Amino acid sequence: MIDADDLIALVRNYNPRTNEAMIRQAYAYGRAMHEGQARQSGEPYFSHPVAVAAILTEQQLDDSTIVTALLHDTIEDTKSTYSEIARLFGTEVAELVDGVTKLTNLQLSSSETKQAENFRKLFMAMSKDLRVILVKLADRLHNMRTIRSLKPDKQVQKARETMEIYAPLAGRMGMQWMREELEDLAFRVLNPDARNSIIRRFITLQRESGDVIHKITGDIRALLEREGIAAEVFGRAKKPYSIWRKMQEKDQGFSRLSDIYGFRIICGAEADCYRILGAIHRRWKAVPGRFKDYISNPKANGYRSIHTTVSGRDGKRVEIQIRTRQMHEVAEAGVAAHWAYRDGVRVSNPFAVDPAKWIASLTERFEAEDHDEFLEHVKLEMYSDQVFCFTPKGEVVQLPRGATPLDYAYAIHTRIGNMCVGAKVDGMRVPLWTRLRNGQSVEIITAEGQRPQATWLDIVVTGRAKAAIRRSLREEDRERFVKLGRELARVAFENVGKRATDKALATAARHLGLSGATELLARLGSAELESGRVIAALYPELAAHRGEEVEPARAVVGLAEGQGFTRAPCCQPVPGERIVGITWRGRGVVVHAIDCPALVEFEDQPERWVDLAWAGGRHRAVNTVRLMLTIRNDAGVLGRICTLIGEQKANISDLHFIDRKPDFYRLLIDVDLRDAEHLHTVMTALEAESDVAAIERHREPGRKL
């Protein structure tokens, strides 16, 4: 454990005007508070806060952040309090320590809904002061460096949490070095065999081909000297986890993986970056599709650099990053560069982003109300690499890797996304699922009346687009369910001789504990609520009568004793409709709907007419009604139609096609139903199905018994 003098010396290296007294006081206070506490390794516990502070000095952070690191566990693990820290070190430090304490208590690796809510809290903490996250990341880095002292199951838990949460967050904040180290430390725990295998391959490769990094670095330096460009050149082999991830993504073995070396060229001016790029491309062959210019199109966290991959010595692919010294400082520190000090003053780096603006750009996309959706969007945003596309006016739109024209449309405006019907990329019409690439120009084609479709959820990758599509689908479904529910309510009320007025619906909703008439109608339409319950809520005596099951043989009232009846096949009347009977010798009474055209031929035979009515109560689903449907000719459509009818508790007794065309089918379906309300429910549900072009009740006036 380094002592207070050594820690102060580390700070003084970049900030000679540091408040030495405050750091020394925080060191003494933290050590006293943690006195007697030990880590799992047996070391004094205070060695951990000191190590966290030392990590933060590498990023040249301000005194308040260094002091916060020394005290970050005092409120949680000791008798120290917020008010005492505020009194001794000021409100700024107390707020930071309190923020780190709250983050420590979040169970970010929880698999339950709580994880999403904790993510919200994490981003709220970030929005207040990003230094809270910087301390927490340094805290996690030191814990991962010393993870071997934990029990195996605890190691796996912490490593997985690091891989899923903290490493991507560090990368998103521009601290790529920390992301790579966190990933590799977690990889060592989660898949040690794979990591060791890659390291052994590296050793073998170096033995076979020599020190490739030294050779290629020498080649680049010699090239720059010939061009008269002053620059520093650094080379390194990529981290084992980075190589492993590339092997998984490309489904290649180590021997076939070429770009395992990375080189950085750091120069003095932006113009030199492009001179160096030209020299390298003249000397070595550029690999197509592996060029990114983050200088002209910086990342949201301030990152600027030119990336290119070339076939270098012996045909080996090498990735080269070209940037200026100021760009390099931001590339190393990321968002933390905003607080960096040098020579006792805050570093004025034109490329360092304002943390408040950065966090606003990150969180503005998390608009979903649903916990699971929010969590999905957070992870999508943190893991994403970026592509840069242009609007027709030349403005730059940043999107995650894998984004489509639909993502682009929603990035412009939710309304544009909702109305999108097509897209042009570089002037050519493309499908909406096309993956966009860097530098492409995108034009969105819109149309009034267009609405998002459920299939779009499988096309988009951004959280903003997914949230907007889901929100629109919910609203559209609700509108459809309310419309369907209103029709079902009207029929249900008419069946008991009542009217479904707004007042009646609102009263029923109140009795059923619902928020209002609209909610009641939406539940009716979505089949979450039966119309019988609505009637029972207002008219219990009618509902009780309706609840009695009617025997099919006694379904009609008005017949003479012993007289039988049959339903007329021409009009197929069902309970709930007005009916009349026509007597037939040897057949009893044939029941017709009152508006059946076949009744015209009996107008001059009044003696054969019988005044009838359906018996009150609940009828069985034995009344066959023939429906004529026109449906889309596509795989699975007929199956969905049959399933939909079954979901309405109706049985299909017969089905046959009457017309077959390349784009549609017309067919007749015989459905067994209870009553007119049941018929209306089935027809309305089918009418709402997008694959049903037309539906009608099919009556055949000439059809005889």
Asked if 663 is an active-site residue, the reply is no
The first and second tokens of residue 675, run together, are 């009553």
* Strand 420-425 with 428-430, pairing: antiparallel
Give the other-Cβ count within 10 Å of 526's Cβ.
Answer: 15
Dihedrals phi, psi of 488, to nearest 5 degrees: -65, -40
The span from the CA of 554 to the CA of 557, in Å, is 7
From the list 77, 84, 270, 689, the catalytic residue is 77
The span from the CA of 33 to the CA of 48, in Å, is 13
Q: Which residues contact 338 (CB under 8 A, 6 or more apart)?
A: 130, 352, 353, 354, 355
Name the one residue in this structure whose structure tokens are 């040249």.
60
The first and second tokens of residue 453, run together, are 């479709």
The span from the CA of 364 to the CA of 180, in Å, is 27
Asked if 77 is an active-site residue, the reply is yes
Distances in whole angstroms, Cα of residue 449 to Cα of each of 23, 116, 429, 473: 64, 35, 21, 14
Q: Which residues contact 151 (CB under 8 A, 6 or more apart)?
A: none
Residue among 382, 429, 383, 386 nearest 407 (CA): 386
- Reported in sequence order, the residue ranges of 217-278 that DSSP labels E, i.e. its strands, are 231-237, 261-267
Contacts of the segment 530-535: beta carbons below 8 A, 24+ positions apart: 531/488, 531/489, 531/491, 531/492, 531/677, 532/492, 534/489, 534/492, 534/505, 534/508, 535/492, 535/493, 535/496
Which residues does residue 60 pair with via DSSP β-bridges, in sequence order? none
The first and second tokens of residue 424, run together, are 């042009």
The first and second tokens of residue 88, run together, are 């001794």
Q: Which residues are catalytic?
A: 76-77
